[in-house]
Structure 1
Amino acid sequence: MVNWEVSCVEKKAISIIALDPRAARSYGRDVEGLFGEVADVSVFSVMDGSAMGMLPHADLFAASTDAFGSPEELARHVPIDSQTMAVQASFRWQELRRLKELPAGSRVLFVNMTETMAREAIAQLEQFGITHVHWIPFYPGAELPGDVHIAVTPDEMRYVPEEIETKIDVGQRACTSGMMIEIALRLGLEHLLETEKFQTYFQSIATSNYSFDQMFARSIRLESQFHILMETLEDGVVGVNERGEVFACNRHAEEITRTSADLVMGKPASQVFPYLPFSKCLQERERLPAKIIRLNGINVSAEVVPVMRQRACIGAFAILQRFNDVEARQSQLRNQLLHKGYRAKYGFEDVIGESDAIQKAKEVLRRMAVSESPILLIGETGTGKELFAHAVHRASRRRNGPFVAINVAAFPENLLESELFGYEEGAFTGAKKGGRLGLLEISHQGTLFLDEVEGMSPALQVKLLRVLQEREIMRVGGTSIIPIDVRIVAATNESLERKVAEGTFRRDLYYRLSTLPIVIPPLSERGDDLFLILEQFQKELGGSFRLTPQVRGFLKSYSWPGNIRELRNVVEYFLYTGHDPITMEDLPPTVFHRAPQAPIRQLPETPQQPSSDVFRFVLEQLYQASEARQPIGRERLLQLARDAFVPTSQQEIRSILAQMADQGLVRVSRGRGGSQLTPEGRQLYETGRI
């Protein structure tokens, strides 16, 4: 017989995401077993690639903590403002009973995919009282300790060493009862929690939260879930039935109204709470917006909402909130966000290098860090600007506050505005219910790092300028001013002065951001730091090799247009050659590739005249600019060289222009005037003597 109620209601969509496909399928079966009649459950895995890219829409995404590195990474794979939660796993009681039978004092391997996952499971087993054995985490690549004869694994028998005598497979960990309750609450399926199927499942899953179990059991005996749900709310809540009789009053409501729930239960709300308009709400069956009432000497916001079921009003709830609780909750939220990745990971001690250039940069930035003024980090791509931003925050007085980083160029204008400033509920189509905090609010009393700030649109530049001037923001779609205390550290790999001259970057914002400017030196100017960083990358990548003197000399003379990021790629390439030592034949062809050029004859041999490819390239570009009757600057020459795969640096181009000027081939102007070929320079190029 078809369940008519279920068939008439559109099914929800639940997506489960995990690192390993087998774990994803296991979690999916658990959720399907409880919610299959009312929801379609899909599973995705990072390892098999199904979780990559933008995932299809779902009413709820549940992701395991090992699937992605951070909440920000998860957000890149789900539709904007999707409802997300974490997969929580636990063991079943029957498996724990098996483990309690292990011989006391035994050395036991716990085998899992990674060290982190193995240690996490061991911590959970010890929390459940399985402490009579000595647990040893084991995972692919780990060294097998001696005198171990027992191994336990959560369905990862493929990683258990063959020589282990006793192998116990406890199966994939199951989704916790708390996770299933949260899914029901998120999707409005609370009525399922009282069914026998859910109760049977809850009794099978191990939990150490005794008080939660007791509260939940009590709510079942009272045939209502409202009691346990309301006690988890931070607002005061009073509930009445269709007759206006009080049936619920949580602890926060007792504190705000200074009454006892036992004294008001079952009584007409009009008598015990005459200041709450329950009767009007039940009659009109419409939400009554929040109004300010004076209660026991404090201002309280009171909102009343009806409870509708099949067009009938079966009750109402009053939501009470003290005004001074708002700021406290925002502070709590910011503190929670600190534990979700919004913190600086690196300090100045993590900046590797002994060259004068890098030591000077570190010394200056240490002094800048103690100020409250904005800092502008200027440097080529891959020089480590974000690492320095982390270090500045950790050396500042804001070190205990949040550190938030965002790449401005990675977001379209409309999305960047909502990311930075947040938005109110209903601000735009798809806006999350209740609105959302922006990164500027999250950064309160901390540091906000704006990478590639030159990519910000003119409209957002105006809003950011107001933030710097007034220290206040307004959310998208909002009407209230929110004061904030944020220190801005910005970074750019382009000339903001040129952007200002072109009219694409506001002059006033430029001077605000560049209060404390500093240039991060490129790798080509850091001398032997190259080899110190190279050795560190070898350690991080788990490999080792030696360089021949010829390779060391070549690497030191190379211009490194990709800087430290390019160096890491080269180190990884060397590791995969399998050669030791590394010779010139092992150099990666893509890194040192030069675009084909027309044959050019050698320059006349003079002691001061370089004969490098870069010199010839610069002379050719100067000639073409001369033909167009336009000067050309160092930055434009550097960009043209990169486009043509000619490795060079600003320092090298500056040196070549200086030598050309000494020989009368070019006139170099100060500032933005650029460089122009002299008649002698044009003649040199046109006569083909190069």
Structure 2
Amino acid sequence: MEKKKISIIALDPRAGQSYGRDVESLFGDVADVSVFSVMDGTAMGVLPHADLFAASTDAFGSPEELARHVPIDSQTMAVEASFRWQELRRLKELPAGSRVLFVNMTETMAREAIAQLEQFGITQVHWIPFYPGAELPPDVHIAVTPDEMRYVPEEIETKIDVGQRACTSGMMIEIALRLGLEHLLETEKFQTYFQSIATSNYSFDQMFARSIRLESQFHILMETLEDGVVGVNEKGEVFACNRHAEEITRTSADLVVGKAASQVFPYIPFSKCLQEREQLPAKITRLNGVNVSVEVVPVMRQSACIGAFALLQRFNDVEARQSQLRNQLLHKGYRAKYGFEDVIGESEAIQRTKDVLRRMAVSESPILLIGQTGTGKELFAHAVHRASRRKDGPFVAINVAAFPENLLESELFGYEEGAFTGAKKGGRLGLLEISHQGTLFLDEVEGMSPALQIKLLRVLQEREIMRVGGTTIIPIDVRIVAATNESLEQKVAEGTFRRDLYYRLSTLPVEIPPLSARGNDLFLILAHFQQELGTCFRLSPQVREFLRSYAWPGNIRELRNVVEYFLYTGHDPITMEDLPPTVFHRAGKPISEQTGAPAVPPEPSEVFRFVLEQLYRASEDRQPIGRERLLQLAREAFLPTSQQEIRSVLAQMAEQGLVRISRGRGGSQLTADGRRLYENGHIHSIK
């Protein structure tokens, strides 16, 4: 076999000779090694032809300058130098805290070497770069140099010469790869050399230094990948083709390895990838009657393209894999927790609701749950999923009103990497994708913006989505269960909710009865909460009668709060004096009237006062203000409230003529009466 030609180019002739000896010690049997230096003039002009040029980074000012000195289309790479382990062990013994000069030809070379020494853990001393022309600092008695004793000041007491830095094992591996001499990597002299050179890239060196083991691991990796993989070298010749690629392309690795990819895989754009040195995004090609996604990725090393890999995926394989991943998310909490057996109650109203929803659960149509806040709409959504054919799929719940419009879109539809500032690397699955073959519960659906209503309508019609910032259509199979505590018909009439979406969501509408319509279910639920909270108390006859006739505007959620309040009174039985101060009315009359105390006009809520103040401030700025902004300001002020409560307060103000509410997202504005109320402080006059 004809010998290869390797040319080493360095700034300093002594460094060049040292690098040349290292390379020749490993490749001398199969290659002729020549050394050129900038300082002695041998590297000037166009250099003789060589199979590979390795230049130190300080030899020329830039890659463009190097290109002017090597023949056109030559292979070039960088000289990489490191210390030997035995020299590092010497330096590790330097007294801790010492000030030590590192002496080299230039400041850049000295600082580079110091950085490398610190990377290898020689940090117990304070390194000071020193070079010709530098000023000698005081109180320094030790100097270290890589064979540059001529630059070490004479007055330094201790001088340590660690010799020229050696070529790294990574550099030797790259030379072998570039010249097709990989078989040398498993020889004893290469192994001995690799063990003597300090490196911070152990995994890289060890993998390539043990080429037989690497080859075995590479093939194992190729076969475990779920995609088809075809690899080519820098010449476009196939060197790898895994089992999945054989199945997809209907060919045999034995027949294609070693051949030009342009001949055996003409539909894979390897040549374009190698030429442009850029990743070619996935494109669809029809192959053996099947749609196949083909993506080509270049393999870069030291700014040179040394090959490329093609990733092949059949569309049905991609869909199956996505389903598996989605199902795995069930173990991360996306599952229904309650069934119809968890709905407590024996009243005719609740039994009728459960019977209707059980029959509806087996269908695939959307269900709309209508009911006041706190009636248990989400619990029924869980139960519907558990009773459906989708019970083994994910159950995902989201409160639509709790998210601003932009966040809700990315939460529902997901996003691609780089879709917006702060987007996670790799993108993120949306809740619609996570709900694939399961159920998505949309609570307070009336709070969805018009733009998102259009996107949700498309999901229901086309059963497909596109992530934010994405270009790929993703098919999904999701059953929607929505809930509202407002009249969607009125929202449609007002123009704030799309009529076509309303009819899509309300295919199967069900009204959840309020607690006040469920009779003695009240006491069954109360007993359940007592057990859940670990408490036991009795109710006086007057309290039982009061609770039975109370309107329960907060429904079951309010009842739980009352039970917890009773727990902390410490009384048994509970009497009328133990009722929470928030429970104001019985049959429309204040409790104070029931007990004989003088009637006092009810104080407006803290939320009412807050909303009035914010509306006044917005009025001063001559700007309307919407519910979402009011909710945000309340949270910033640590005022506990909800979008529903703010909506109710605004409706109350509108009835009293204090505020004008615009349709859609136009916001609300104080009237003249509203401004006078705030300015005069006549809050007590509010009815």
TM-score (norm 1): 0.53
- Compared with structure 1, are the counterparts of its residues 501 and 14 closer, same or farther at alpha carbon in structure 2 (3 Å cutoff)? farther
Whether the 8 Å contact between 1:154 and 1:170 is mirrored in structure 2 is yes
CA deviation string 1:600-641 (max 9, x = no partner):
99999999999x999999999999999999999999999999
CA deviation string 1:527-562 (max 9, x = no partner):
221121122122223333333333333332332222
Match of 2:617 in 1: 624
Match of 1:321 in 2: 313
Match of 2:268 in 1: 276
- Compared with structure 1, are the counterparts of its residues 190 and 627 closer, same or farther at alpha carbon in structure 2 (3 Å cutoff)? same
Sequence identity percentage: 90
- Compared with structure 1, are the counterparts of its residues 99 and 220 closer, same or farther at alpha carbon in structure 2 (3 Å cutoff)? farther
- Compared with structure 1, are the counterparts of its residues 549 and 400 closer, same or farther at alpha carbon in structure 2 (3 Å cutoff)? same
Moved more, 226-235 or 12-21: 12-21
CA deviation string 1:26-80 (max 9, x = no partner):
9999999999999999999999999999999999999999999999999999999
Whether the 8 Å contact between 2:185 and 2:208 is mirrored in structure 1 is no
Quote how far apart the aligned CAs of 1:450 are. Answer: 1.2
Moved more, 524-533 or 44-53: 44-53
Moved more, 281-290 or 402-411: 281-290
Moved more, 28-37 or 137-146: 137-146
- Compared with structure 1, are the counterparts of its residues 664 and 530 closer, same or farther at alpha carbon in structure 2 (3 Å cutoff)? same
Moved more, 180-189 or 308-317: 180-189
- Compared with structure 1, are the counterparts of its residues 111 and 277 closer, same or farther at alpha carbon in structure 2 (3 Å cutoff)? closer
Match of 1:605 in 2: 599
Whether the 8 Å contact between 2:100 and 2:144 is mirrored in structure 1 is yes
- Where structure 1 has 5 or more consecutive residues not aligned to the other structure, the ranges are 1-8
Task: Describe the SS at the equivalent of 1:304.
Answer: strand
Task: Describe the SS at the equivalent of 1:223.
Answer: helix
Match of 1:495 in 2: 487
- Compared with structure 1, are the counterparts of its residues 683 and 483 closer, same or farther at alpha carbon in structure 2 (3 Å cutoff)? closer
Quote how far apart the aligned CAs of 1:319 are. Answer: 0.7
Largest Rg, 1 or 2: 2
Whether the 8 Å contact between 2:549 and 2:586 is mirrored in structure 1 is no
> Residues of 1 paired with 2:280 and 2:658: CA distance?
81
Task: Give 1:427-442 correspondences, 5 Å limit.
Answer: 427-432=419-424, 435-442=427-434
Whether the 8 Å contact between 1:561 and 1:649 is mirrored in structure 2 is no
Quote how far apart the aligned CAs of 1:351 are. Answer: 0.5
Aligned residues: 680
- Compared with structure 1, are the counterparts of its residues 275 and 672 closer, same or farther at alpha carbon in structure 2 (3 Å cutoff)? closer
Whether the 8 Å contact between 1:561 and 1:648 is mirrored in structure 2 is no
> Residues of 1 paired with 2:552 and 2:6: CA distance?
48
- Compared with structure 1, are the counterparts of its residues 352 and 156 closer, same or farther at alpha carbon in structure 2 (3 Å cutoff)? farther
- Indicate which of 448, 453, 456 corresponds to 1:461: 453
- Compared with structure 1, are the counterparts of its residues 479 and 58 closer, same or farther at alpha carbon in structure 2 (3 Å cutoff)? farther
Whether the 8 Å contact between 1:594 and 1:646 is mirrored in structure 2 is no
> Residues of 2 paired with 1:38 and 1:354: CA distance?
92
Whether the 8 Å contact between 1:236 and 1:254 is mirrored in structure 2 is yes
Task: Describe the SS at the equivalent of 1:414.
Answer: helix
Moved more, 407-416 or 578-587: 578-587
Q: Please identify runs of 4+ aligned residues in structure 1 that moved more than 6 A.
A: 9-220, 262-268, 593-610, 612-688
Moved more, 599-608 or 323-332: 599-608
> Residues of 1 paired with 2:425 and 2:12: CA distance?
32
CA deviation string 1:627-683 (max 9, x = no partner):
999999999999999999999999999999999999999999999999999999999
Quote how far apart the aligned CAs of 1:311 are. Answer: 2.7
CA deviation string 1:374-395 (max 9, x = no partner):
3221111111001111222222
Whether the 8 Å contact between 2:18 and 2:166 is mirrored in structure 1 is yes
Moved more, 29-38 or 557-566: 29-38
CA deviation string 1:339-393 (max 9, x = no partner):
4333322221110001122122212222333333332211111110011112222
- Compared with structure 1, are the counterparts of its residues 574 and 120 closer, same or farther at alpha carbon in structure 2 (3 Å cutoff)? farther
> Residues of 2 paired with 1:160 and 1:579: CA distance?
90
CA deviation string 1:578-598 (max 9, x = no partner):
444444444344555999999
- Where structure 2 has 5 or more consecutive residues not aligned to the other structure, the ranges are 682-686
> Residues of 2 paired with 1:625 and 1:215: CA distance?
67
The reply to whether residue 153 of structure 1 matches residue 145 of structure 2 is yes
Whether the 8 Å contact between 2:442 and 2:482 is mirrored in structure 1 is yes
Quote how far apart the aligned CAs of 1:433 are. Answer: 5.3
> Residues of 1 paired with 2:607 and 2:40: CA distance?
46
Aligned Cα root-mean-square deviation (Å): 20.0
> Residues of 1 paired with 2:50 and 2:40: CA distance?
20
- Compared with structure 1, are the counterparts of its residues 142 and 236 closer, same or farther at alpha carbon in structure 2 (3 Å cutoff)? farther
Task: Describe the SS at the equivalent of 2:184.
Answer: helix
Whether the 8 Å contact between 1:593 and 1:645 is mirrored in structure 2 is no
Quote how far apart the aligned CAs of 1:451 are. Answer: 0.6
Quote how far apart the aligned CAs of 1:570 are. Answer: 2.5
Quote how far apart the aligned CAs of 1:453 are. Answer: 0.7
TM-score (norm 2): 0.53
Task: Describe the SS at the equivalent of 2:47.
Answer: coil
Whether the 8 Å contact between 2:146 and 2:164 is mirrored in structure 1 is yes
- Compared with structure 1, are the counterparts of its residues 369 and 178 closer, same or farther at alpha carbon in structure 2 (3 Å cutoff)? farther
Quote how far apart the aligned CAs of 1:125 are. Answer: 44
> Residues of 2 paired with 1:73 and 1:544: CA distance?
88
Moved more, 188-197 or 567-576: 188-197
The reply to whether residue 174 of structure 1 matches residue 166 of structure 2 is yes
